[in-house]
Structure 1
Amino acid sequence: MDTPAALGDFLRTRRARLRPEDVGLVSYGTRRRVPGLRREELAQLAGVSVAYYTRLEQGQSTGASDGVLDAIARALRLSPDEHAHLRNLARPARAGRRPAPRAEAARPSTRRLIEAMDGVPALVLTARFDVLAWNPLGHALVAGHLAADGPERPADRPNTQRLLFLDPHTRELYPDWEGEARRAVSSLRLAAGEYPDDRRLAELIGELTMKSGEFAALWSRHPVRKCAFGVKSFHHPLVGPLELTFEMTPLRDSAGQCLLMYGAEPGSPSEAALRLLATGVASPTTTTTTRTSAPR
């Protein structure tokens, strides 16, 4: 992962989204060669020299203090997630102390936990969004067209981000595909900042950039947002529309793994549809699943 280049891209995109008048600077109407703030304007707001900020944006300074990074974050009006991402990118040696994820299996206790979740779709994901395990309802919700034992076979292990951009069945699953795509890229950006030495994560990002113009366009905007909870809309091929809440909970001491769970509002049509899907999972003869491999 080219962390210095990523740092420069991130800072430039954040400068570009601010106008001088947004931050209290006077613009005299002269033609501006670049969108947003100039380097010297941002340096002035952050209280650092133009030369120093230029070196930082060019990836030539890796020892920025907390005070300097905090000042730049304030000047750029970064969100807390963006602020944390800035620190990871500006200090690649520090971020690199988090080793690339190596655990390639969900703990047996975690597997038992998701199997015991009656009526709750659940998945265990790696930091790079590979699916290590899912319960039957989780499989039926997000990838019923794939083989249920795919997570057990590394060569066919599904990746939720790869599916979203490269698998037509998954694209049809999300009525607001564009919103889901932005959420996915934002999450991958955070992961790339946290695990700059993860070769497989870099390969995934490279693959998506080459194979999906939509991914490449979103990636170039450098979106950053931790998507740990919220609401997702589905149009499931078996039970129709669903609006489900989701929660992503980190699993301690598990190399960045997390537990993704979905739920429906009690008494809602989505709850009835999710119950119907669960009934189909319990009685597989009532549904048809195409056993295929995830796109590689």
Structure 2
Amino acid sequence: MDVAPDQLTDHPERLIDSMATTPAYVRDTRMDILAANALSRELHAPVYRYAQHTDTAPNSARFAFLDPAGRDFYPDWDKVTHDCGAVLHAAAGRNPYDKLLSNLVGELSTRSETFRARDRRGRRPGSAGLARRDAPRRADRVGVVTRHVFAQSEQLTL
């Protein structure tokens, strides 16, 4: 289980680990992956590789906007980047003094034309939806995975 220190109690970790037949992860409003079970780490291997290569935390937005592999990983990359930008924009509105969020938005703003264009449009995030991604190509796995996104809350309580 990959978990950021002091981010989660062991309750979500146990819940995620108990999901042995489906990928599951917990993400914060900065799009950092805080915890993931083994199947999710395998599915998101390109996100983890990019994080290791850049010496950063695994982050869905950073990967989608800055790694060219993100376009191949997300079959609906345009929608994913739209949603990532909207989630970050909403998070900044809720907590404008979040230094880590400000740093991430600054990094994406300076390094991604797509992020800058999306930010200018002022998109609003949805509270739920679907996203697709190409799973690692293996004979015993499904090629495309659909991810269900549930409404986010400020604090995870189980």
Scaled by the length of structure 1, the TM-score of the pair is: 0.45
| Change in 2 beyond 3 A, CA 1:216/1:258 | farther
Is 2:44 the counterpart of 1:142?
yes
Q: Give 1:242's aligned residue.
A: 144
Taking only the aligned residue pairs, the percentage that are identical comes to 31
Q: How is 1:1-296 mapped onto 2 (pairs within 5 angstroms)?
A: 104-144=6-46, 146=48, 156-226=56-126, 228-239=127-138, 241-248=143-150, 250=152, 256=155
Q: Which amino acid aligns with 2:18?
A: A
**Cα offset, 1:192, TM superposition:** 0.9
**Stretches of structure 1 lacking an aligned partner (at least 5 in a row):** 1-102, 260-296
Query: Contact 1:172–1:235 at 8 Å: present in 2 too?
Result: yes
Against the structure 1 CA distance between its residues 193 and 104, is the aligned structure 2 distance closer, same or farther, given a 3 Å change threshold? Answer: farther
Q: SS state of the match for residue 100, structure 2?
A: helix
- What RMSD, in angstroms, separates the aligned Cα atoms of the two structures? 2.5
1:208 maps to amino acid: L
CA contact (8 A) 1:106 1:124 kept: no
CA gap of 1:258–1:199, structure 2 versus 1, over 3 A, is: farther
Q: Is the 8 A contact 1:121 1:138 kept in 2?
A: yes
Q: Structure 2: where are the runs of 5+ without partners?
A: none
Preserved CA contact (<8 Å) 2:73 2:134: yes
Distance in 2 (alpha carbons) for counterparts of 1:173 and 1:129: 16
Secondary structure of 1:146's counterpart equals: helix
SS in 2 for 1:237: coil
How far apart are the structure 2 equivalents of 1:223 and 1:185?
A: 8
* Deviation at residue 169 of structure 1 after TM alignment: 2.6
* Aligned mates of 2:6, 2:64 — CA distance in 1: 21
CA distance in 1: counterparts of 2:89 and 2:157, whole angstroms? 17
Distance, in Å, in 1 between the alignment partners of 2:83 and 2:29 is 15
Distance in 1 of aligned mates of 2:38 and 2:150: 18
Q: Give 1:249 deviation, angstroms.
A: 5.0
Q: 1:145 to 1:190 in 2, by over 3 A?
A: closer
Distance, in Å, in 2 between the alignment partners of 1:159 and 1:234 is 15
Task: Determine the C-alpha separation between the residues in 1 that align with 2:149 and 2:43.
Answer: 15
CA distance in 1, matches of 2:110, 2:47: 25
Equivalent residues of 2:29, 2:87 under 8 A apart = no
| Alignment size in residue pairs | 147
Cα distance in 1, alignment partners of residues 44 and 97 from structure 2: 29
Alpha-carbon distance, 1:106 to partner: 1.9
TM-score normalised by L of structure 2: 0.80
User: Does the 8 Å contact 1:248/1:258 carry over to 2?
Assistant: no
Note the C-alpha offset of 1:161.
0.7
